[in-house]
Amino acid sequence: MTEALFLLFVFTLAAFLGFELISKVPPTLHTPLMSGSNAISGITIVGALVVAGEAQTPFLTGLGVGAILLATLNVVGGFLVTDRMLKMFRRR
């Protein structure tokens, strides 16, 4: 099995496992779950910075930069949605 095929298999397995786990979470725990996913996206940004900085080929550099952009978008969007949800519970 080639390395790329193995990595594709691991990614697919993680996607299905993540979907199954997230779909079982009760609605009352969605906000804490979003906070946890924002933290994971922050770690992803650090990993993407390492990949982009240490890349040996232009393809890997582009892949790292793309990962940085997408993870940053995910973190910012997550904080905006979390802020919006918390505003719903504030007293008027």
pLDDT of residue 1 exceeding 70, the answer is no
d(CA 92, CA 86): 13
Q: Stretch 50-79: mean pLDDT, rounded?
A: 88
Reported as a pLDDT band with limits 50, 70 and 90, residue 54 is confident
Asked whether 51 and 63 are in contact (CB, 8 A), the reply is yes
Reported as a pLDDT band with limits 50, 70 and 90, residue 14 is very high
**Every domain of the chain and the residues it spans:** 28-88
Joined tokens for residue 40: 């994971």
> Which residue type is seen at 81?
V
d(CA 4, CA 87): 44
pLDDT of residue 49 exceeding 80, the answer is yes
pLDDT of residue 36 exceeding 80, the answer is no
